Amino acid sequence: MQYPEPIAKLIESYMKLPGIGNKTATRLAFYTIDMNEDDVTSFAKNLISAHRDLHYCSVCGNITEEDPCEICRDTTRSQDMILVVEQPKDVMSLERMNDYHGLYHVLHGVLSPIEGKGPDDINIANLIKRLQKTPAKEVIIATNATPEGEATAMYISRLIKPAGIKVTRLAHGLSVGSDIEYADEMTLLKAVEGRQEI
């Protein structure tokens, strides 16, 4: 027996989310059906609002409602340090430690030949242009401790070092294979404090 079309379409929609398979999508679809109408309406409005109202900062690539983003507009932040991360969620994770007061640059991915992602597919060109216009003295590369993250860090380092800018990498307080998003504030703080030049 097949599900009615509205449920089948809802299951298909949930399955488009990363990490959501058929069983989880089915569970979510039935949970959604059981929600009261006000909650479903609010949920739908929030999805539409997030998709419509958020965009990427033209300076750093972080997610924002205004361009440039709040961090890039903040003149109290150190302008001579840029921390490079893979995704906007990594910026939020690092901001939670309340100890880094420089700028950010979001790559929106990493180099991954297996997935067909090269330098032109992530936000590296904008970083290089940005460094030509700003007084940055140090670039901290905070890609995840994965083979792709390490390869991306080395590639960026090779592009930036000839310009005389110090390039450092987060210390390995983060375990290999882990994501910045899931690290606690103390681990992130130690990782930033123990960064090393590459």
Number of domains in the chain: 2
Q: Given the structure tokens 């070092």, which residue do they identify?
A: 161
In percent, how much of the chain has pLDDT > 90? 78
Distance between CA atoms of residues 185 and 171, nearest Å: 14
**Residue 63 phi, psi (nearest 5):** -80, 140
Q: Does some domain include residue 108?
A: yes
Q: Given the structure tokens 């398979």, which residue do they identify?
A: 21
- Are 121 and 144 within one domain? yes
Q: Does some domain include residue 185?
A: no
Q: Is the pTM of this model over 0.85?
A: no
Answer whether residue 186 shows pLDDT above 80. no
Q: Does some domain include residue 105?
A: yes
- Are 23 and 71 within one domain? no
Residues near 172 by beta carbon (within 8 Å), at least 6 away in sequence: 145, 191, 194
Q: Does some domain include residue 180?
A: no
Owning domain of residue 116: 66-170
Confidence tier at 174 by pLDDT (50, 70, 90): low
Distance between CA atoms of residues 85 and 140, nearest Å: 9
Q: Does some domain include residue 192?
A: no
Answer whether residue 7 shows pLDDT above 90. yes
CATH of the domain at 31: 1.10.8.420
